[in-house]
Amino acid sequence: MEEEEESSTDQERDNDSNSSIMFPKSKHTTKGMGKRRQGSSGVARKHIRNHALVMDLPDSVRPVKNMGALYLKMHITLEQAWTMYDGSTNDRLSDRHEVLKAVMTMVVTHKNKDGCVPRDLAAALDELRGEEDKVVALRKMVLDLVWQGASQMRNDLKKKAKQVVDEAYGFAGLKAPKKEALAMWLLKTYKQSVKGGYAYVPYFTFPVKEVVWTDGQKSKGGSQVNEQKSKLANTKLFQHPAIAKLIYAFWFSLSHKEVRDRREKFSSVPDNLIALVCNAVSTGIHHLNTLRLLVNSWRQLSRTICRPVQAMHWTCNSRTRSMRQSGTTT
């Protein structure tokens, strides 16, 4: 019994030691890691720098980077999709440093199915220990590369959403004027009862029962959606098939271990997952609309249940869960 207690204590001590590998308390600081460069050539500089980082990273520490990318993807999906940005006043958002610290703590405490740290991961973590300038620079390189996965994942999700949206909302086969008219209609908002009041939610979150068209003269804009005759299943918030299809297509179409391990969390469909997917769906619909309509729609949405973190960011507030539970309308 005493040996088991000692073994358990040693394990806890090892975990505490491991958790500080990527963020040790030292004269080196990671403060300001989340700040982004400004300037018209910033995107180009960032692309060149990121490519250089990938090429320069030693193979021996890639297991840490790869595992960090997987855990970051799951964190964005199930915990918090967006982080603090310059000028943000939303105190519910974590900054880059906080997210990376949470993700890398999961990496350094990762165990395989046998309850052991994989050999290649353990060797990589050992190489990242220490306070020599070379090691500190290597740790920073790993963290920068892991963080690249955040924007890459969101971009990949939005690309997949465009494919899902085209079929799920009936855009396929429509000519450009009808696509714009349908997109404009789907981006309108519906008054939904919630606990303590009401909120406005976009049409595209509800199943569409029927879209009725009114053919007009080309000089007056051509075909339009007949809003009086077109119908939504407005008691089924967040139940449009596009939402479930996108979740399946992006996370479950391929059998990834990190998804299987979190199947229970996915099954609960957390608010963060709904927010992330709806943001991607709305981006796919906006893509079929004009910039003028996009801007006007998001100005309207900024006063609804979801507050955009950036121009295209959708973050659920505390009303979202109560709406999903109540399912009431006005």
Confidence label for 82 from pLDDT (cuts 50, 70 and 90):
confident
| C-alpha count within 13 angstroms, C-beta hemisphere, residue 231 | 5
Least confident piece of the model among 96-100, 250-254, 263-267, 315-319: 315-319
Could you tell me which of 181, 183, 182, 205 has the C-alpha nearest to residue 192? 205
Q: Are 238 and 324 in contact (CB under 8 A)?
A: yes
Instruction: Taking each helix axis as running N to C, give the angle between helix 62-78 and helix 133-168, from 0 to 180 degrees, rounded to the nearest 10.
Output: 40
Q: What is the mean pLDDT of residues 37-53?
A: 50
Arithmetic mean of pLDDT, 44-68: 76
pLDDT in tens, 221-259: 568 899 999 999 999 999 999 999 999 999 987 666 777
Alpha-carbon gap, residue 159 to 249, rounded angstroms: 11
Helix (H) / strand (E) element for 7: namely: helix 2-19
pLDDT tier, 217 (very low <50, low <70, confident <90, very high otherwise): low
pLDDT, one tens digit per residue, over 271-294 is 999 999 999 999 999 988 753 444
Residues 6+ apart with CB under 8 A from 23: 30, 101, 104
